[in-house]
Structure formats: C-alpha cells, structure tokens
Amino acid sequence: MARLKILKFGEPTLRKTARPVEEITPRIKMLIDDMIETMRHAGGCGLAAPQVGVLRRIAVIEVEEGTVYELINPKIIMYSGEQHEQEGCLSNPGEYGYTKRPMHVTVRAMNRDGETYELTGEGLLARAICHECDHLDGKLYIDVETDRA
C-alpha cells in the first residue's frame, strides 16, 4: 500500500464531478487500500478519490476505529433530521466550519466485491457520508457551511 498525496483547497480537481466506476479491477481495489492508508495516516475519518487526484466515484469512511466503509458509486437515497456541527476536511487542514447536515442518512453503494449494499448512519457517520459524497460532485464543506470556526 502507498500513501497518496491529498490535494488542497484551490486544486481544480476538487471542483470536478467524478465519473462512475464501471468495473472493479485490481487497480480500483489497490486505490481503495491506498486511500484507507492515506486517510488513517492523515488522521481523517473519510477520504474521496478526487481528494487524491482520481476522478472516480469512490470514498472510504472510518468514524469508528476498525470499521471501514468502502463506497463505490454511492448515492444518498434517504435523509432526515438536521444537525449543525463543526466540520473539517483533509484537503483544508486546520480549518473548520459549522455545517448544516442531515442527522440520518442512508446511502446505496457497492463494495470492493461489486456487491450493492445500503448503509444508514446518524450523527458523525451521516455527516461523513454527506461530506464524501459531496466531494464526488465537486462540492466542498465550505459550500454548505453556516459559520466559520
């Protein structure tokens, strides 16, 4: 596995829409492994492929140590409630803002084996799902924030 370079705010790639993954190849699986290692090394709880310069609809999330969610072609299918919490981003280290996000989110995605599954999260997990899915559409938390911290 390799640690990848995380792009910083201002990089044009972060504002582009990622393309769907058509086939899960060994290269895609290696990218997922590298993204997990990169996210953990950087101390984050989520990372999207565009943040490492790859315009594919892939994200990894780990809000609870040892439980990693691999999201390939994720699509949020349900959300409810509301939370206003502080949010940051590995692409904008040291900066935070308060965002308005749903309290509960359900996402449909594929795992590395090509199996479709649904993941429902609340609180931090819901926020992370929204944050990473936004990255896949070229959107940053500063676009949804309500206040700067």
Instruction: Write down the pLDDT at residue 49.
Output: 98
Q: Give domain status of residue 3, yes or no.
A: no
Residue-wise pLDDT for 73-111, tens only, equals 999 999 999 999 999 999 999 999 999 999 999 999 999
Are 32 and 58 a contacting pair, CB within 8 Å?
yes
Residue-wise pLDDT for 19-68, tens only, equals 999 999 999 999 999 999 999 999 999 999 999 999 999 999 999 999 99
Q: Give domain status of residue 85, yes or no.
A: yes
Q: Give domain status of residue 44, yes or no.
A: yes
Q: Give domain status of residue 128, yes or no.
A: yes
Beta strands, E only, the chain: 46-48, 58-64, 67-80, 83-87, 97-101, 104-110, 116-122, 145-148
95 carries an active-site annotation:
no
Q: Give domain status of residue 7, yes or no.
A: no
Instruction: Write down the pLDDT at residue 147.
Output: 65
Count the domains in the chain: 1
Q: Answer left, alpha or beta for residue 141, where phi above 0 means left and psi between -120 and 50 means alpha.
A: alpha
Instruction: Write down the pLDDT at residue 146.
Output: 72
Categorize the per-residue pLDDT at 13 as very low, low, confident or very high, splitting at 50, 70 and 90: very high
Average pLDDT of the chain is: 95
Report the C-alpha gap between 147 and 96 in whole angstroms. 9
Q: Per the residue annotation, which of 62, 70, 87, 132 is the catalytic one?
A: 132
Q: Residue 96 belongs to what domain range?
A: 12-148
What is the CATH number for 44? 3.90.45.10
Q: Give domain status of residue 4, yes or no.
A: no
Q: Give domain status of residue 1, yes or no.
A: no
Q: Give domain status of residue 21, yes or no.
A: yes
Instruction: Write down the pLDDT at residue 32.
Output: 98
Residue 145 has pLDDT above 80, yes or no: no
